[in-house]
Structure 1
C-alpha cells in the first residue's frame, strides 16, 4: 500500500463501503427463492411455454443473485486486504497495483498484467 496515499486509502475504503452497502441492498431486493415462490403463488401455469418462461425468469434471478454474492465476497476480500495492509499489492506477483486500476476497480487483487494472464489462461482452459 506504500504507493497509495492516506487520502487514496480513505477514498477507496469509503468506495468499498458504498459498494458493499449497494450490493447488500440488491441482494435483499433480489432474494430469488422468495421471489420465485411469491410469483408462482396464486397463479397457474397455463402451458409449457408459460412454464418455460417462469423457469427462465427463475434462472435469471438465481444468476443475478450469484453475481451479487460473488461481488460481495470480492468487496469483503478487498476490505480484508486493506485491514491487513496488503491492499494494492498484486496477489500473483507482489508488485503494486496501479492507483488508476484500483480507482476503476477497487476490488482488484491483481495488477493489470497478472489479471490479463489469468484471464487468458482461463480462456484456454488452464486456470491460473
Structure 2
C-alpha cells in the first residue's frame, strides 16, 4: 500500500474541486427543469396517460437531483476531511485508505475491506 504524498493530496484536492463544480453545474441546470413535465395545453388531446408520463418524468428528474445532492455532500465531506488532516483514513478501522482507491474514488471514507463489510451489513 502506497501512502498519499503531498503531491497526491494537492491533486486530489483539485479533483474534488472539479467534481464539486460539475455537480453544482448539474444542480443549477436541473433547477431550470423543475416543474410539471407536461401541461394540459401542450397537446390537442390530454389524457391520464399524459399525466402519468409527466409524473414519471418528474420523479426521475427529482431522483437525479437527489443523487447530485448526495454526491455534493460526499465531496464536501471529503474536502473537510482533507482540511482537517483526516483524509485518507478509514472511518471504520482507522487504517490508511490505499492511494489507488482514493485516486479512483476521491470521496471514499472506507478502505475496500470495510466498504465491502458495510455494504454486506446494509444488504442483510
TM-score, with normalisation over the residues of structure 1? 0.88
Aligned CA-pair RMSD: 2.0
Aligned to 1:50: 50
Q: Secondary structure, in 3 states, of the residue corresponding to 2:35?
A: helix
Aligned to 2:12: 12
Q: Deviations over 1:43-94 (max 9, x none)?
A: 3671111111000000000000000000000000000000000000000110
Tell me how far apart the structure 2 counterparts of residues 37 and 49 of structure 1 sit (CA, whole Å): 14
Q: 1:10-89, aligned counterparts within 5 Å?
A: 10-31=10-31, 35-37=34-36, 40=39, 42-43=41-42, 46-89=46-89
Structure 1 runs (4+) deviating above 6 angstroms are none
Distance change >3 Å, CA 38–CA 49, structure 1 → 2:
closer
TM-score, with normalisation over the residues of structure 2? 0.91
Tell me how far apart the structure 2 counterparts of residues 40 and 12 of structure 1 sit (CA, whole Å): 45
- Deviation of residue 3 (structure 1)? 2.3
Runs of at least 5 residues in structure 1 that lack an aligned partner in the other structure: none
What is the count of residue pairs matched by the alignment? 122
